[in-house]
Amino acid sequence: MTATTGTATVRESTRRTGPADGPVSSGRRSLQVAMRSRRAVALLFALVWLVIVGAPVYYMLVVSAEPASSFLTADPWLPTRGFTGANYVAVFHSGFGRYLANSLIVAIGATALSVVVSLFCSYAIVVRASRVTGFVFRTFLVGFAVPIQALMIPLYVEILQLHLYDTLIGLILPMAAFSLPITVLVLVNFLRDVPRSLIDAMSIDGAGPFRILWRLVAPITRPAIVTVVIFDFIAAWNNFLFPLILTQSPTSATLPLSVFNFEGNHFSNVPVIMASVALSTAPLLLLYLVARRQIAAGLAAGFGA
């Protein structure tokens, strides 16, 4: 009698728990299948994007290392011809060192000026919040809506009147000015996460605005500062329009203009142009590989604030 009762109890328990466990297990399996499907789709899109981005780089490297005589007679996507370093030698002999120095001076100068000015403006907008600072912030944001091309003629006339045409200073100032909107936006969003209590505590202790900015705000906002430094540097390094319009002599030209040295009236030396582009891009690739984590962290903190 006891055994029969125990068996009946087990069967009853099984009937009660069985139907409840079934949907749970099925739901877990469905969730796992959905997650695997999403990962597969994400991996597929990543591979497609890698091909789209990597194909031009592959083409550039293959063409830059092959003779110009065989460029028009065979498929440039297939590296079946003999590689040569003559194209890179030609780039160096064309004044690559001077262009590289000018690009470094312009990019570093524009980046430093833009970041310093943006840091002071962002500090005032966040810490000294008022109608005036709010209006200033909205004015900076208007810069996103104004295309650079629409301001080139007034900018050209202004540079001429300031006697800065065909000078590196004449390139640094407008590049820094056009970098201010995005730099201010990132820094303002990041500064809003700085605890106001820390700023008030330093003010009570007698610290002035510059000391607070240097001792407290700058260290806390280091990821955002590194991010805007990298992006402003890349924007200034790759800028082609300003050097094209605001310079005319090789002494003030930058790397983006160096490709014109290999452009003729009836023929373009494409392999040498690709070698010039590869040498110009190499510093940016190295910069990204070194600071890719800071870029991701700064963007996540700045735009996600």
pLDDT tens by residue, 50-74: 888 888 888 888 888 887 777 777 6
DSSP 192: T
Q: Are residues 280 and 147 in the same domain?
A: yes
Residues 181 and 243 placed together within one structural domain of the fold = yes
State yes or no: pLDDT of 305 exceeds 50. Answer: no
8 Å CB contact between 215 and 207 = yes
150 and 267 together in one domain = yes
Note whether residue 37 is domain-resident: yes
- Same domain membership, residue 24 and residue 105: no
pLDDT-derived band of residue 236, with 50, 70 and 90 as boundaries? very high
Residue 82 lies in a domain: no
Q: How confident is the model at residue 300 (pLDDT cuts 50, 70, 90)?
A: low
Is residue 80 in a domain?
no
Token pair recorded at residue 294: 């800071």
The residue ranking higher by pLDDT, 88 or 299, is 88
The band of 205, judged by pLDDT with boundaries at 50, 70 and 90, is confident
Q: Is residue 73 part of a domain?
A: no
> Is the same domain home to 60 and 93?
no
Q: Is residue 70 part of a domain?
A: no
- Look at residue 75 and tell me if it is in a domain: no
With cut-offs at 50, 70 and 90, classify the pLDDT of residue 10: very low
pLDDT on residue 56: 85
Across residues 27-49, what is the average pLDDT? 83
* Residue 149: domain span: 88-303
Q: What is the pLDDT of residue 118?
A: 92
* Number of domains into which the chain is organized: 2
- The overall average pLDDT reported for the chain is 81
Provide, rounded to the nearest whole percent, the portion of the chain with pLDDT above 90.
Answer: 19
Say whether pLDDT at 105 is over 90.
yes
Digit-coded pLDDT (tens) for 175-195: 999 999 989 988 888 888 887
| Tens-place pLDDT, residues 142-177 | 888 888 888 899 999 999 999 999 999 999 999 999
Largest Cα span, the chain:
111
Answer yes or no: is pLDDT of 110 > 70: yes
Q: What is the pTM of this model?
A: 0.77
What's the DSSP call for residue 146?
S
Q: Which DSSP letter does residue 66 get?
A: S
| Domain co-membership, 161 together with 42 | no
Exposed/middle/buried for 284, CB within 10 Å: 0-12, 13-18, 19+? middle
| Residue 109 pLDDT greater than 90, yes or no | yes
Answer yes or no: is 282 within a domain: yes
Residue 1 has pLDDT above 50, yes or no: no
Mean pLDDT of 2-27: 53
CATH value at residue 166: 1.10.3720.10
Model confidence band, residue 134 (pLDDT cutoffs 50, 70, 90): confident
The reported pLDDT for the residue numbered 161 is 93
61 CB burial (10 A radius; 0-12, 13-18, 19+):
middle
**Same-domain check for residues 25 and 159:** no
Domain end point (choices 30, 64, 98): 64
The answer as to whether 249 is a domain residue is yes
35: exposed, middle or buried (C-beta count within 10 Å: 0-12, 13-18, 19+)? exposed
Do 243 and 187 lie in one domain? The reply is: yes
Q: Which residue's entry shows tokens 């980046």?
A: 111
* pLDDT (mean) for 212-216: 83
* Same structural domain, 47 and 103: no
Indicate if 19 and 145 belong to the same structural domain.
Answer: no
- Residue 154 and residue 21 share a domain: no
- Does 47 share its domain with 177? no
Instruction: State the pLDDT at residue 297.
Output: 65
Q: Is pLDDT of 6 > 70?
A: no
Percent of the chain whose predicted confidence (pLDDT) is above 70: 84
